Amino acid sequence: MEHTSYHQLDFETIPTQPGPWRTILAILLALLIILMIIPFYAIKVNPEPKNLPTVEEVLQGLDLQQTNRTSMVYSDFPLLALQASNDQVIKTVADRIVTQGCTHARGETRRVCHAKALFYLVRDDFNYVADPASFEYIKTARESLLSQGGDCDDASLLLASLLEAVGIETRFVFIPRHVYVQVHLPEALKRYQDADGWVNLDATCQDCGFGEVTYGTAGARKTVIS
């Protein structure tokens, strides 16, 4: 006949209860993992440009001599006629901006970072200057870089030229007395998109972020030109 000692009985029948510190430690470890994962995926799907250069920095060593404007006279859509994505100077400027601002961006959302970098630079470093009261004058992209100022036509043309120079499709959206740019970025977050993958970029709206337009602009009658 087997005999079970008092000490053996205690050991076998009384389960060991984990202390509360183990539960707390497990929760803290889970939170730490979450905090490490979320920023990684946030950067991946919604990258923000960093350390953007100034206009003066990206223009160093470049010749901004004025270009031929005769094509504007024969076009019904002068913004399209003057778009200069194949201009060597515009290409160099665009490359310098996105190269410095988006070195951390990876994968298919790299274009989102490029679009943000170019939009932020034009919006923040471009001063609004109205045209003469008697006629509409549209600056070339080079002229806008040289003067660092102009109206909505000039800012939109400059921004579209820079975007197209790095392979991002654009179009112009006209509303009464105003024009802005849309870019086709179906990989951008849905909250940025207007419709069908198009993202609004209003470079003369200082309070508008990436993908934003004013309430009045959003409700206005629009004509899209591409």
Q: What mean pLDDT is predicted for residues 26-54?
A: 70
- What is the per-residue pLDDT for 97? 97
Burial 58-78 (b: 16+ CB within 10 A, else e): bbeeeebeeeeeeeeeeeeeb
Question: How far from the centroid of its chain's Cα atoms is residue 29's Cα?
Answer: 34
Q: What mean pLDDT is predicted for residues 108-120?
A: 94
Give the residue from 97, 225, 109 showing the smallest Cα distance to 162.
Answer: 97
Q: What mean pLDDT is predicted for residues 99-117?
A: 91
CA angle 46, 49, 55 (to 5 degrees): 150
Has residue 4 got a pLDDT over 90?
A: no
Say which range, 88-92, 135-139, 222-226, has the weakest mean pLDDT: 135-139
Cα–Cα distance, 108 to 129 (Å, whole number): 36
- What is the per-residue pLDDT for 11? 47
Cα–Cα distance, 170 to 183 (Å, whole number): 4
199, 188 in Cβ contact below 8 A?
A: yes
Has residue 220 got a pLDDT over 80?
A: yes
DSSP string, 100-135: HH-TT--GGGHHHHHHHHHHHHHHHH-EE-PPPTTS
Give the residue from 60, 193, 202, 200 showing the smallest Cα distance to 122.
Answer: 202
Q: What is the pLDDT of residues 166-203, one digit of tens each?
A: 999 999 999 999 999 999 999 999 999 998 999 999 99
Report which of residues 70 and 118 the model is more confident about.
Answer: 118
197, 185 in Cβ contact below 8 A?
A: yes
Report which of residues 78 and 65 the model is more confident about.
Answer: 65
- What is the per-residue pLDDT for 42? 46
- What is the per-residue pLDDT for 169? 96
How much of the chain exceeds pLDDT 70, in percent? 78
Other C-beta atoms lying within 10 Å of the C-beta of residue 10: 9
The domains located in the chain, with CATH, are 49-225 (3.10.620)
Say which range, 30-39, 47-56, 84-93, 158-167, has the weakest mean pLDDT: 30-39
Say which range, 78-82, 119-123, 213-217, has the weakest mean pLDDT: 78-82
Q: Tell me the whole-structure pTM to 2 decimals.
A: 0.77
